[in-house]
Structure 1
Amino acid sequence: MTSLTYESTLVTKDIEGLNFAYHEAGEGEPLILLHGSGLGVSAWSNYQHNLPVFAKNFRTIMPDLPGFGGTELPELDEVYSVVAARWIARLMDNLGIESAGFIGNSMGGAVVAELAALHPERVRRMAIMGSGGLSVSIFQADPSEGFQRMFAFLEDPSRERMVSWLETMVYNRSLITEELIEQRMKNAMADGAIERLGRIFGAMFDPRLRTNYTPLWTRAATFTTPTLMLWGRDDRMLPYDGAHYANRWLPDVELHTFSNCGHWTQIERKADFERVATEFLTRVIQK
């Protein structure tokens, strides 16, 4: 895989008592890239090679979601995606952004969808990739193979289990380099990282927190945000069949599928992903 290189400095801000980390580059309309969950993940690990492309057209901001990378984990008094969406809104306030376009990968897709449900005026358009939240798996096992391998690592971390999980992220296994494995292991084994990820997934599935929560997919028909869904046909983390419920019920939606592609569309089909997402985000909306 070839890509542009880009130097970026991680910025950390205190936002209402929470240390929030993000990268920023470019000028123009704001675009916020939200990463997924997973082992050793951060905004930089997800989008570092896409940043220079999007920064040509947008003021591009890549935050570490609460509890990931350099951002602290706040109190989880609601399901995680709602908590994270509220903190992204606070970050936008701090950066002087009233509304923005969004790209969300996996859990990041669920977070931007939660934000669009809470504050639709803040999300101009959203391009979500292999997204949680709005997806409903029709034919595949639940939890998926990818989630099963990730939970196995959390129970008993090892390099072997990291590689096993990484193999479910991509179609082309040559992308799993020694550099990638070492970096993900370093991030995943950082002080407190496993404990934070355990708390995040605990808040996602805690029945007490879900008592007063209405799942996003049941609200799909109420969304007003123009939505692009991007999906790898060979996704083993959030399988492709999960796209079809939202594709049927979201009022303003289009679905773009990539063959020979797993969960990391932004890496495995980098140029195609950037082209399709940029066209959608810059398209003139016909009234």
Structure 2
Amino acid sequence: MTSTPVTRNVDGLTFAYHEAGEGEPLLMLHGSGPGVSAWSNFRDNLPVFAERFRTIMPDLPGFGGTDLPELDEVYPRAAAKWIARLMDELGIESAVFVGNSMGGAVAAELAVLAPDRVRRMALMGSGGLSVGIFQAEPSEGFKRLFEFLEEPTRERMIGWVKTMVFDPRRITDALVDERMSNATAEGVLEKTKAIFASMFDPRRQAQYTPLWTKAASVTTPTLLLWGRDDRMLPYDQAHFANRWLPDVELHTFSRCGHWIQIERKSDFERVVIEFLTRKASDLTEETGGTRHGS
């Protein structure tokens, strides 16, 4: 498995993605942030999931090797529609999903727009269906991210990636170098700013019903995964979605920040694979009621 993605033209948009394995389709949607791509987010997890699934890791629109289309609505909803088009191009009618942060919001948007296309979803430190209850807004992680976008220095990149993890020893020079190179490549900062601008534009917000207000109507079986020490999308956000999603479980990782797939790699893979491969009859209790886990 190499870092070079495959590209496809999807309705005029160049989409980049990695694919490995056979079986039930699994789409793994990465988060946002400076220099992110599917490969940077999930490359170490791909071999494990490829043993069980036809695993597809797309670069979301505007990230990595995928073009940014014109955004006439908030980004997660627009990206969900493009993921559906990519699925059409790849001959995938429905799939299971893993969504990290922004990728979780995109998966959840697709589950609302086209429930038959998302069989199950595991959402990690996800936006969209979650909402802050106790923590200040913006979070520490978002503050550091916006500071970097305003002035993209190495020092500010280090400040941001440190908010992603519980253990700062995971922040190596190689990691910072890779993210700096990706984030400062030609056109990347402009695309990243446009993506976040779409989410905070009052005109687009006025035309958009927040996903969390529809949480009770989401029928897709959902696993929420959260680092207890997440400083990007703090842990208190997990509890709104855990209360209102009809078919939900919540798994919390101690001594873990926003990058669960890195800090708790083996546990993340084990828990997600168990959920995604569980028999449908086991997803709810025998009484047919909602199952809540912790």
TM-score (norm 1): 0.97
Deviation at 1:7, TM superposition (A): 3.2
User: What does 1:2-17 correspond to in 2, within 5 Å?
Assistant: 6-7=1-2, 9-17=4-12
* 2:131 equivalent among 132, 136, 153: 136
How many residues end up aligned between the 2 structures? 282
Q: Which secondary structure state, in structure 1, belongs to the residue aligned with residue 19 of structure 2?
A: strand
Equivalent residue for 2:285? none
User: What does 1:198-209 correspond to in 2, within 5 Å?
Assistant: 198-209=193-204
Equivalent residue for 2:264? 269
RMSD, matched Cα: 0.8
In the alignment, the residues of structure 2 paired with residue 274 and residue 42 of structure 1 have an alpha-carbon distance, to the nearest angstrom, of 19
Deviation at 1:8, TM superposition (A): 5.3
In the alignment, the residues of structure 2 paired with residue 9 and residue 238 of structure 1 have an alpha-carbon distance, to the nearest angstrom, of 30
1:248-287 per-position Cα deviation (integer Å, ceiling 9, x unaligned)? 0000000000000000000000000000000000000118
In the alignment, the residues of structure 2 paired with residue 26 and residue 142 of structure 1 have an alpha-carbon distance, to the nearest angstrom, of 40
Equivalent residue for 1:3? none
* 1:158 equivalent among 147, 153, 156: 153
User: What does 1:100-111 correspond to in 2, within 5 Å?
Assistant: 100-111=95-106
* 1:66 equivalent among 61, 66, 69: 61
1:111 counterpart letter in structure 2 = V
Q: Which secondary structure state, in structure 2, belongs to the residue aligned with residue 286 of structure 1?
A: helix
1:163 counterpart letter in structure 2 = I
1:74-130 per-position Cα deviation (integer Å, ceiling 9, x unaligned)? 010011001100000000000000000000000000000000000000000000000
Q: Which secondary structure state, in structure 2, belongs to the residue aligned with residue 131 of structure 1?
A: coil
State the identity %.
72
* 2:27 equivalent among 2, 13, 32: 32
Equivalent residue for 1:223? 218
In the alignment, the residues of structure 1 paired with residue 197 and residue 3 of structure 2 have an alpha-carbon distance, to the nearest angstrom, of 33
Asked if structure 1 preserves the Cα contact closer than 8 Å seen for 2:62 and 2:69, the reply is yes
Asked if structure 1 preserves the Cα contact closer than 8 Å seen for 2:3 and 2:39, the reply is no
In the alignment, the residues of structure 1 paired with residue 56 and residue 267 of structure 2 have an alpha-carbon distance, to the nearest angstrom, of 21
In the alignment, the residues of structure 2 paired with residue 178 and residue 55 of structure 1 have an alpha-carbon distance, to the nearest angstrom, of 29
1:178-207 per-position Cα deviation (integer Å, ceiling 9, x unaligned)? 110000000000001110000000001111
User: What does 1:1-287 correspond to in 2, within 5 Å?
Assistant: 6-7=1-2, 9-286=4-281
In the alignment, the residues of structure 1 paired with residue 216 and residue 75 of structure 2 have an alpha-carbon distance, to the nearest angstrom, of 22
In the alignment, the residues of structure 2 paired with residue 162 and residue 79 of structure 1 have an alpha-carbon distance, to the nearest angstrom, of 25
2:138 counterpart letter in structure 1 = P
CA distance 1:8–1:25, change in 2 (3 Å): farther
Asked if structure 2 preserves the Cα contact closer than 8 Å seen for 1:50 and 1:274, the reply is yes
In the alignment, the residues of structure 2 paired with residue 129 and residue 196 of structure 1 have an alpha-carbon distance, to the nearest angstrom, of 24
TM-score (norm 2): 0.95
Asked if structure 1 preserves the Cα contact closer than 8 Å seen for 2:98 and 2:122, the reply is yes
* Structure 1, gaps ≥5 residues long: 1-5
Asked if structure 2 preserves the Cα contact closer than 8 Å seen for 1:8 and 1:24, the reply is no
In the alignment, the residues of structure 2 paired with residue 134 and residue 143 of structure 1 have an alpha-carbon distance, to the nearest angstrom, of 17
Moved segments of 4+, more than 2 Å:
6-9
Higher mean displacement: 6-15 or 249-258: 6-15
* Structure 2, gaps ≥5 residues long: 283-294
Q: Which secondary structure state, in structure 1, belongs to the residue aligned with residue 281 of structure 2?
A: coil
In the alignment, the residues of structure 2 paired with residue 100 and residue 25 of structure 1 have an alpha-carbon distance, to the nearest angstrom, of 15
In the alignment, the residues of structure 2 paired with residue 63 and residue 74 of structure 1 have an alpha-carbon distance, to the nearest angstrom, of 15
In the alignment, the residues of structure 1 paired with residue 79 and residue 19 of structure 2 have an alpha-carbon distance, to the nearest angstrom, of 19
